[in-house]
Structure 1
Amino acid sequence: MTAPVKEFVMRHDFKDVPKFKEGVYQYSPREEHFNIPWKMSVVRRDGFLGVYLYCDQLKTNKSIRVEFSIQLITVTGKKNQLHTSLTYNTKNYAWGWGKFLDWKKMEKDYMIDEHITVETHVKIIEITGIKRKKLKNFDATMEEYSDLVIIVEDEKFHISKFFLADQSTYFKSLLTRKQEESEKPDTTLDDCKSEDFQCFLELIYGEFLASQSTYFESLLSKKQRGSKKSEITLDGCKSEDFQYFLELIYGESPIDEETIDKIVHLADKYKAPTAIRKCEEFLMNNSGKTLKEKLQMAKNYKLENLKTACLSKINTVEDIRSVLSYTTSEMDPSVVGALLQKSLSLLP
């Protein structure tokens, strides 16, 4: 499975379009994606429809490079779309097109019952400015109490071999093979960020015994000195993502809108059921992702409880439209079937 990317979709129905006043902006509700608030706007000006995407509340040291497209759509599938690449910052927080579409053409081809539907597809390429504080350290300060070193992007994570193997069948198999080579083998992980792996370990690991008891701290420190540690190097993985992953499996709570995609990707890759369950619980109970986004994640990572929870919230024709993809082949067949049944039940 390829590494997760930061993408999201926003859709809003703007009503009473013929009543729009010249030069007065109409806004969609604000939505939060990856810990960043976004909104859309439309405006009637000089015989054209203007459309814009806003990135709200950017701090002075933060910028966001994106690719996005804005389109007008109809129930028949007809659409008018424009695409661009740009960077949001404190001086440039709104981008779009003042002459997106001729107003009369919009009324003729895209307005239905005085409504228009605007949809924006956004792909975040890079976010700069704010670095997340680690919830748990796996650096050299933990060296005395660990028996395994995992190297990701040249960053070393000092952890417990037993605990990691207990939480991840992937690492259990890997460490079993390594055990015959040395008493404490080193392992390098590929396709992973160290920060995400940090989150993963924090969730499943809880607190180290040594960090909670001075007696065991002294005892373990004496036994650990002089012993050779295993090392595993992971390639194809970012150290930042691996940090998140470790934090999660070590008992911390690193999951939020910005980290969920990275953590669930690694939890699935490393077959860590505890981490997967906690990711699924976040998506069900705390995430601001759309139903469409959640259903896609349920398909990608086989999150059956999430899929069931999403389907239970789809009760209207508009709900069904909001989760449909233009290419139904990309959707879970069982979800397509459930949506068909729901649509039939809504027929008069």
Structure 2
Amino acid sequence: MTENREEKKFVIKHVFLNVPLYDKQVVYGNEEKHFGIFWKLRRSWKIANEISNYFQLEFRKAEDFVESEWSMEIEVDSNLYRDSIIKNKTHSISGTSEKVIDLVLINYFDLEDYRFNGNLEAEFHVTIKKMTGIKLPKQLPKLRNFDDDVAKKFSDVCLMAGNQKFYVNKMYMASHSVYFESLFLGNFSESKKSEIELKDVDPSDFQNFLELINGETFVNDDTVEGLLHLADFFDSKTVFRRCEAFMMNKSEKSLKSKFELAIKYRLEPLQKRCISGLKNKEDVRSVLPEDPFQINPDVWAELFNKAFSFN
């Protein structure tokens, strides 16, 4: 069984909108994939001695990189909830454990202290201490260096992702990303800085992003999800277009994985291709998400029509 003791970290966060002081609903954040596992935050209510609001972390394995038996030892922490109860910072999770972890309990009487304009922010830092049974994609060799003397010579800004520096040209980045266009050409104070930190951006994914917009690499099944995440984060039509073309024509990912990505990143042509590729009712069931609110009513209508066509 594959075992990896190299420490890995990621941050997961979500802003829950219009949070009432009392609500029995379970509300989910966006699902994210990190290190072979899908994760999402959720907010729920529990009533014991008093009403309490819980932040919880829900997880499920990804088909691509996880063996039938897998496990992780993780630590979860946050600096947003000093006066609330951190349920447990250390957790052991696996394919047979409970799929929901209690993270923070916020007492009903303290909830107002954490809300801002009725919204409730959640942010947790996850450290993976050990993992088994999870086959991560191999780190590809760099096709282009963005921190060597040549990159520095022709750059006018340094972008920091994690601990890595990337020397790039502002105008070229702006031409491929609405985010960077606004950052460099707008009235932001960062536009004058020579070094800018990109928070919550994985350096490996950013390396792939830069290589792609510079024509140095092609999308593959190991890089496409990270590229789509950054295409969405940086609002890059170029990267979206390249990723969608790959998913439609060359990807060997399962139909379910393709459909999930199409829904998450609003890739309508890929979404329609996936639905047209459903061959029977079992195929339709296989692509249905655990959280029905991930799919908008129009897509639900298409899926129902497809299912009825097999009667």
The structure where helix makes up a greater share of residues is: 1
Aligned pair count reads: 204
Given candidates 148, 154, 168, the residue that maps to 1:159 is 168
- State how far apart, in whole Å, the 2-side matches of 1:330 and 1:3 are: 13
Structure 1 segments, 4+ long, off by >6 Å, are 178-182
Shift in CA distance, 336/2, structure 1 to aligned 2, threshold 3 Å: closer
Largest Rg, 1 or 2? 1
Task: State the AA in 2 paired with 1:328.
Answer: P
Equivalent residues of 1:151, 1:233 under 8 A apart: yes
- State how far apart, in whole Å, the 1-side matches of 2:288 and 2:186 are: 45
- State how far apart, in whole Å, the 2-side matches of 1:139 and 1:265 are: 23
Deviation at 1:2, TM superposition (A): 6.7
Deviations 1:263-300 (A, max 9, x none): 10001110000101111111111222222222221111
Residue 146, structure 1, aligned to residue 155, structure 2:
yes
Equivalent residues of 2:256, 2:287 under 8 A apart: yes
What's the % identity of the aligned pairs?
35
Residue correspondence of structure 1 range 99-248 to structure 2 within 5 A: 124=134, 127=136, 130-141=138-149, 142-177=151-186, 185-186=192-193, 230-248=194-212
Residue 4, structure 1, aligned to residue 33, structure 2:
yes
Residue 68, structure 1, aligned to residue 95, structure 2:
yes
- State how far apart, in whole Å, the 2-side matches of 1:7 and 1:281 are: 25
Partner residue, 1:291? 255
Shift in CA distance, 165/133, structure 1 to aligned 2, threshold 3 Å: same
- State how far apart, in whole Å, the 2-side matches of 1:3 and 1:317 are: 27
Ranges in structure 1 where 5+ consecutive residues have no aligned partner: 9-30, 39-52, 56-64, 71-84, 89-123, 187-229
Shift in CA distance, 242/86, structure 1 to aligned 2, threshold 3 Å: closer
Deviations 1:29-78 (A, max 9, x none): xx9825x8x6xxxxxxxxxxxxxx279xxxxxxxxx984359xxxxxxxx
Equivalent residues of 1:147, 1:160 under 8 A apart: yes
Partner residue, 2:59? none
Task: State the AA in 1 paired with 2:146.
Answer: F
Deviations 1:13-32 (A, max 9, x none): xxxxxxxxxxxxxxxxxx98
SS in 1 for 2:278: coil
Deviation at 1:315, TM superposition (A): 2.8
Partner residue, 2:4? none
Please, what TM-score do these two structures have when normalized by structure 2?
A: 0.57
Task: State the AA in 2 paired with 1:263.
Answer: L
Equivalent residues of 1:257, 1:288 under 8 A apart: yes
Equivalent residues of 2:263, 2:294 under 8 A apart: no
Residue correspondence of structure 1 range 265-344 to structure 2 within 5 A: 265-344=229-308
Partner residue, 1:33? 64
Ranges in structure 2 where 5+ consecutive residues have no aligned partner: 1-29, 39-61, 71-91, 98-129
Please, what TM-score do these two structures have when normalized by structure 1?
A: 0.52
Shift in CA distance, 131/319, structure 1 to aligned 2, threshold 3 Å: closer
Deviation at 1:231, TM superposition (A): 2.1
Equivalent residues of 1:244, 1:254 under 8 A apart: no
SS in 2 for 1:133: coil
Structural RMSD (CA): 3.2
Partner residue, 2:223? 259
